[in-house]
């Protein structure tokens, strides 16, 4: 019984140590991002400010709302910065259960995972958010002046950035699943019509009800799916591809 408990306790200790490293990295990044919180705040406000009508302004109704908004911005940005460390610690925790061949993917996993997440967030910021906020502001009129709450705007903006960052991880997920033999290119190709339908349903749900916004989100997602099929065809397990071909 004691011998069985020792490995379990050892894994718990390792997990605790790796979580602490992630917390330290996040704390250091937070000090940096909180110092530049005004600049980050101004950067995140720009998509709405560019389409904001005259006499419109942001408001906050709670005493602590502005402080909490700055804090939330800083912690989310710090998480982006600390992401490579967090991904590395996660990988090293699961690495003992992997084959030697699989362990060599740690640095591509961290590098491309971070790059794809950043690309998704930037795509959302520069291409998606301007159209979405322009659509919402279009309902303004002489006696309908937009006065968005600071907390609501920033929560929506951060959620969209994170969502698009995660969506852009699809090719990386396809790479590792195809290497593991869980999926293959033929499987993804066969399910293409259902995937496209699901993509445009999702786009219709989370974007304003205009065709431009839905296409702006749906077409890149479709492109990522096609890239995932290509990645699975090139990097997937050859024996699985041959059997299914």
**Residues with Cβ within 8 Å of residue 162, at least 6 apart in sequence:** 76, 121
Place of tokens 């979405």: 132
Closest by CA to 33, choosing from 160, 158, 126, is 158
Q: Give the angle subtended at the CA of 28 by the CAs of 24 and 33, to the nearest 5°.
A: 140
The neighbour count for residue 129, using CB atoms within 10 Å, is 22
Give the predicted TM-score (pTM) of the model: 0.79
Residues 170-195, buried b or exposed e (16+ Cβ, 10 A)? bbbebbbbbbeeebbbbbbeeeeeeb
Helix or strand or coil: residue 59? strand
Instruction: Give the contacts of 183 (CB within 8 A, at least 6 positions apart).
Output: 174, 177, 232, 236
pLDDT, position 127? 87
Cα–Cα distance between 80 and 95 in angstroms, integer?
23
pLDDT at 97: 62
Q: What is the pLDDT of residue 208?
A: 65
Looking at residue 220, its pLDDT comes to 85
Separation CA 154–CA 121 (nearest Å) = 14
Question: What is the mean pLDDT of each successive set of 10 residues along the chain, which is 245 residues long?
Answer: 58 85 94 94 91 83 88 92 86 69 73 88 89 83 83 88 88 83 85 88 74 78 90 71 43
The length of the chain, given as a count of residues: 245
């Amino acid at each position: 019984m004691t011998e069985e408990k020792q490995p379990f306790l050892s894994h718990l200790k390792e997990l605790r140590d790796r979580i602490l490293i992630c917390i330290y990295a996040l704390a250091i990044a937070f000090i940096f991002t909180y110092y530049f919180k005004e600049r980050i705040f101004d950067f995140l406000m720009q998509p709405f400010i560019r389409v904001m009508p005259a006499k419109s302004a942001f408001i906050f109704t709670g005493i602590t709302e502005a402080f909490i908004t700055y804090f939330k911005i800083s912690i989310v940005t710090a998480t982006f910065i600390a992401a490579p460390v967090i991904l590395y610690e996660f990988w090293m925790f699961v690495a003992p259960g992997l084959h030697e061949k699989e362990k060599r993917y740690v640095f591509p996993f961290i590098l491309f995972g971070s790059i794809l997440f950043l690309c998704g967030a930037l795509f959302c910021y520069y291409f998606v958010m301007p159209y979405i906020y322009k659509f919402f502001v279009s309902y303004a009129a002489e006696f309908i002046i937009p006065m968005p709450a600071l907390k609501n705007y920033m929560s929506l903006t951060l959620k969209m950035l994170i969502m698009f960052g995660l969506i852009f991880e699809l090719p990386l997920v396809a790479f590792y699943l195809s290497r593991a033999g869980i999926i293959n290119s033929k499987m993804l190709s066969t399910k293409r019509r259902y995937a496209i339908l699901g993509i445009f349903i999702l786009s219709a749900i989370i974007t304003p009800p205009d065709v431009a916004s839905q296409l702006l989100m749906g077409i890149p997602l479709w492109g990522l799916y096609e890239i995932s099929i290509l990645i699975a065809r090139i990097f997937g397990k050859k024996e699985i591809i041959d059997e299914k071909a």
